[in-house]
Structure 1
Amino acid sequence: MNSKLLSFLEEIKAQGNMSKAAQALFVTQPYISRVIKNAEVNFGVRLIDRSSHPIQLTYAGEKLLSYLQEENRLRANLDREMTHLSEFKYGHLTIASNDILSNDIYEPILIRFSHKYPKIHAQVIRMNSRDAEKRLLSGSLDFFVGQPLSNPKVEYQPVAKIPLVFIIPESSSLFQAGKYEVDYQSLDFSKLSGEPFIGIPQQDYYQRAVNNYLSDLSVSPEYSLEVPDIHLSANLAINALGVTIAPEMFIADPFVSEDQKKKLNVVRIPSDALTADFGITYMKTKQTSEPINDLLEIISQVVEEYTPGR
């Protein structure tokens, strides 16, 4: 029950709305209300201020959330330490990754790491940066591979800067027929204002960086589609559903067919204008070890092989 109560309190605090919290956690709103009410009866205090809009945690709710987060962190640390004291020092590593890199990059990473440490079970899961930050802080995640997280409790080691491109469909006023790749300097990007854009959740670090860049170009995008990940937004743009900015690797073969290329413009964004910062984030308090250092090196090597500098 504590884990459910923890996730419910965290999401209510983030969303400020019980129904939105339920949607984000894929449960019903009455179920969240019942769990919260039972906890309030159990502790004899109100945890949620339902009279405020948006709703907020009470002081007691904030204190309970803090204790539950600490309890979760300690439990995760205990589990990890028991594993480390078993047959080998690091028996399990959980690595979260967002989709800024294509799936085929993770295959050589895991192959090289498994060859060197066959007894270590490495688990790679997909996760957005917001959820990864929560799990790092709670101790249930070892690494996040993706954009930097701006939290003073975590350590970020940069690996690479991923080149980005505009994907512009033929429906756009900026589209140039008969071309697939279009020169960046030749375009007036302000014409994209008001046109349909495809983006990912606005709280994501990557999307915030893209929005700031578009603002510098005097572009006010109209986000007609918001999807969970960058790869999906690139696929939808390739299928002419709107403009998007995506990692350059997503417009390489076999992601784009010859027929699709006839209906698209791809514009490579200069690296001094915008790139996707990519690296590895972990807790500052985490002890380093040979397997962890080797994993950092392997990831750096593979990303460099797949994303050479332009």
Structure 2
Amino acid sequence: MNSKLLSFLEEIKAQGNMSKAAQALFVTQPYISRVIKNAEVNFGVRLIDRSSHPIQLTYAGEKLLSYLQEENRLRANLDREMTHLSEFKYGHLTIASNEILPNDFYDPILIRFSRKYPKIHAQVIRTNSRDAEKRLLSGSLDFFVGHPLSNPKVEYQPVASVPLVLVIPESSSLFTPGKFIVDYDTLDFTKLSGEPFIGIPQQDYYQRLVNNFLSDLNVSPEYSLKVPDIHLSADLAVNGLGATVSPEVFATKPFITDEQQKKLNIVRIPTDKITADFGITYMKTKQTSEPVTDLLGIIKDVVSEYAPKK
């Protein structure tokens, strides 16, 4: 029950709305309400201020959430430490990543790590920055490969910067016929204001980065499509559904065909204008055992092969 209560309180705090929290967690709103109400009866305090809009956790709710997160983190650390003490192996490591790099990026990481530690089960999952931060703090995640997380409880090691491009479809007034690669300095980007753009959730670090970049260009995009991740937004832009800012790797083969090239402009954005910095984030309390240290080194080596060094 504690794990459910933890996830419910975290999502209610993030969403400020019981129904949205239920949708995000794929449960019904009455079920969340029942679990919260039972906890309030059990502790004899109100956990949710339902009179505020958006709804908020009460002081008691915030304290309970903090204790549940710490309890979850300690339990996860205990499980790992006990496994580590048995035959010097962790048994299980979970690596999360956002979608800024292609899936085949993880092949050499897992191959190299598994060859050295064949008895350790390593799992790779996809998640956004906000969820990765929650999972790191709760102890259910070992590493996050992606954008920097601004939390004093985590350690961030920068690795590389991913070059970005602007994908312009044939329908745009900024489109230059007969060219695939268009020079950044030749364009009047203000023409993009009000045109269809494809974006990802606004709370994501990457989308905030893109928003600031477009604002500096005096561009007010019309986000006609919002999708869960960068890879999908790039794929839809390549198919002509709108403009987007994408990692350059997703605007090259095999993600784009010769026929699609005829209906697109790709604008390489100078690195002094915008890049997607990323690295490895983990809890500051993480044990620096041999498997963990080796995994950090492997990730750094592989990432360096995919992107220019900082």
TM normalised by structure 2 equals 0.97
How far, CA to CA, are the matches of 2:151 and 2:60 in structure 1? 25
What's the offset of the Cα at 1:308? Answer: 4.3
Alignment partner, residue 275 of structure 1:
275
1:91-240 map, 5 Å: 91-240=91-240
Alpha-carbon deviations, 1:130-157, whole Å to 9, x = none? Answer: 0110111111111000111011111111
**Mapped partners of 2:158, 2:60: distance in 1:** 39
Superposed counterparts of 1:290-305, under 5 Å: 290-305=290-305
Corresponding position of 2:69 = 69
Residue equivalent to 2:47: 47
Amino acid at match of 1:193: S
Offset, 1:88: 2.1
The amino acid across from 2:75 in the alignment is R
1:264 maps to a residue whose letter is L
How many residue pairs were aligned?
310
What is the alpha-carbon distance in structure 2 between the residues aligned to residue 107 and residue 51 of structure 1? 50
- Equivalence for 1:245: 245
Deviates more, 1:191-200 or 1:42-51: 42-51
1:37 Cα deviation from its structure 2 partner? 1.1
Structure 2: tracts of 5 or more residues without a match:
none
SS at match of 1:246: strand
Equivalent residue letter for 1:17: N
Distance 1:251 1:293 in 2: 34
- Aligned-partner Cα distance in 1 for 2:28–2:35: 11
Residue 164 of structure 1 and its aligned partner are, at CA, apart by 0.5
SS at match of 1:237: helix
- In 2: Cα distance, 1:56 partner to 1:279 partner: 33
C-alpha distance in 1 between matches for 2:91 and 2:36: 36
Give the whole-Å Cα distance in 2 for the aligned partners of 1:154 and 1:279.
Answer: 12
User: How far is the alpha carbon of 1:91 from its aligned partner?
Assistant: 2.4
CA 1:135/1:309 → structure 2, altered by over 3 Å: closer, same or farther? Answer: closer
State how far apart, in whole Å, the 2-side matches of 1:124 and 1:106 are: 8
Give the TM-score normalised by the residue count of structure 1: 0.97
| Structure 2 counterpart SS, 1:38 | helix
Unaligned stretches of 5+ in structure 1?
A: none
CA distance in structure 2 between the aligned counterparts of 1:139 and 1:289, rounded to whole angstroms: 17
Structure 2 SS opposite 1:197: strand
Q: Distance in 1 between matches of 2:60 and 2:307?
A: 49
Q: Provide Cα deviations, 1:223-245, integer angstroms capped at 9, x if missing partner.
A: 11111110000000001111101
Distance apart, 1:294 and its partner CA:
2.1
Q: Which runs of 4+ in 1 moved over 6 A?
A: none
Identity %: 84
After alignment, is 89-98 or 3-12 more displaced? 89-98
Farther off after superposition, 281-290 or 149-158: 281-290
